[in-house]
A and B are shown apart, each in its own frame.
Chain A
Amino acid sequence: MDTAIVTPTLRAKDYKSEVAPVWCPGCGHFAVLSAVTKALAHLKLPKERVAMISGIGCSSRLPAYVDAYGFHGIHGRALPLASGLKAARPDLTVIVAGGDGDGFSIGGNHFLHACRRNMDLTYIVMDNEVYGMTKGQASPTTQPDWAKSKLTPHGTGMRPFLPTAIALAAGASFIARGFAGDPNGLTKLLVEAIEHPGFAFLQVLSPCQTFRPEQKEWKHLVHPSDMAPTDDPVEAARFIQADDGMALGLFYVRRLPVWQPQHQPTATPADLEREFVL
Chain B
Amino acid sequence: MTERSTLAGGATLAITGSGGSGAVTAGLILLAAVGRAGYYGLLGRSAGPQIRGGESAAMLRFGPQPIECMGGRFDLLVGLDWENVARFADELPLDRTSLVLTDAQAGPIPEILVRSGAQVRSMPWKALADAQSEGRMNMVALGMVGAMLGLPLDALEAGARATLGDKGGRVLTSSLDCIRSGYSATDAAPVPPSALAPPVARWNISGNEAAGLGAVRGGVRFVAAYPITPASEVLEWLAPRLELLGGSLLQAEDELASINMIIGSSFGGVPSLTATSGPGLSLMVEGLGLAVASETPVVVVNVQRGGPSTGIPTKSEQSDLNIALHGLHGDAPHLVLAALGIRDCVYTVEWAVGLAEHLQTVAIVLSDQMLGQSRAIVDPPGDLPFGAVQHTPLQRLIGTDADPDHRRYRPTPDGVSPMALPGLPGGMYTAEGLEHGPGGAPSSRAIDHAEQLDKRLHKLTGFDYGHGWAEIRGEGDHLLLTWGSSAGPVFEAAERLRGSGTPTRAIALRLLAPLQRDALLEAIGAAGSILVVEQNQTAQCFAYLHSQRALPAHARSYARPGPLPLRPAEIMRALIGSHTREET
Contact residues of A with B, CB < 8 Å?
17, 19, 46-49, 51-53, 56, 63-64, 67-74, 76-77, 79-89, 91-92, 109-110, 112-113, 261, 263-269, 271-273, 276-278
Contacts and interface: CB of A to CB of B under 8 A. Distances in A.
B213 interface: yes
Nearest to B430: A70
Nearest to B242: A263
A113 B257 contact: yes
Contacts of B441: 19, 64
Contact of A266 (B203, B244, B377): B244
B50 to A, nearest CB: 29
9 contacts: A48-B424, A72-B432, A74-B290, A82-B264, A84-B260, A88-B266, A109-B256, A110-B257, A263-B244
Residue of A47, A85, A264 with most chain B CB atoms under a 10 A cut-off: A85
Nearest to B203: A276
A277 B36 CA distance: 10
Contacts of B205: 276
B256 A77 contact: yes
A17 B441 CA distance: 10
Given A110-B253, A278-B203, A81 B264 contact: yes
Contacts, number: 192
Given A109-B253, A277-B201, A92 B434 contact: no
Contacts of A82: 264
Contact of B247 (A80, A92, A263): A263
Nearest to A66: B430
Given A84-B224, A87-B250, A46 B430 contact: no
Residue of B162, B202, B248, B430 with most chain A CB atoms under a 10 A cut-off: B430
A265 B245 contact: yes
Interface in B84-133: none
Given A74-B433, A263-B243, A269 B217 contact: yes
Given A113-B253, A273-B380, A92 B268 contact: yes
B260 A265 contact: no
A89 B377 CA distance: 39
Contact of B287 (A77, A89, A265, A269): A77
Contacts of B256: 76-77, 80, 109-110
Contacts of A277: 201-203, 380
Contacts of B32: 278
A74 B285 CA distance: 11
Contacts of B258: 80
Residue of A17, A46, A87, A268 with most chain B CB atoms under a 10 A cut-off: A87
Interface of B: 32, 35-36, 162, 201-205, 209, 213, 216-217, 221-222, 224, 241-248, 250, 252-254, 256-258, 260-270, 272, 286-287, 289-290, 294, 377, 380, 422-425, 427-434, 440-442
Contact of B433 (A48, A73, A83, A91): A73
Given A74-B260, A278-B377, A265 B246 contact: yes
A47 B213 CA distance: 37
Nearest to B214: A269
Given A84-B222, A109-B254, A278-B377, A73 B260 contact: yes
| Chain A binding surface, main DSSP class | mixed
Contact of A80 (B221, B257, B270, B272): B257
A192 to B, nearest CB: 23
A51 B290 CA distance: 18
A48 B431 contact: no
A63 B422 CA distance: 14
A122 to B, nearest CB: 15
Contacts of A113: 252-253, 257
Contacts of B257: 77, 79-80, 83, 109-110, 113
A56 B260 CA distance: 14
A255 to B, nearest CB: 22
A52 B260 CA distance: 15
Nearest first, the 6 closest Cβ-Cβ pairs linking A and B are A84-B264, A84-B261, A265-B246, A70-B430, A261-B248, A88-B265
A109 B423 CA distance: 30
Given A48-B423, A70-B431, A278-B377, A84 B243 contact: no
A271 B265 CA distance: 25
Contacts of A109: 253-254, 256-257
A276 B424 CA distance: 40
Given A80-B257, A87-B222, A261 B250 contact: yes
B222 A278 contact: no
Given A70-B431, A84-B264, 11 more contacts: A48-B422, A74-B286, A80-B258, A81-B261, A84-B260, A88-B270, A88-B272, A263-B246, A265-B246, A268-B245, A272-B245
Contacts of A88: 221-222, 264-266, 268-270, 272
Nearest to A277: B201
Nearest to A90: B268
B423 A92 contact: yes
Nearest to B217: A269
A271 B246 CA distance: 13
A72 B433 contact: yes
B434 to A, nearest CB: 6
B429 A69 contact: yes
A184 to B, nearest CB: 27
Contacts of B286: 74
Contacts of A81: 260-261, 263-264, 267
Contacts of B434: 72
B244 A71 contact: no
Contacts of B442: 19, 64, 72
Nearest to A87: B250
A46 B248 contact: no
Contacts of A110: 253, 256-257
A256 B222 CA distance: 24
B297 to A, nearest CB: 13
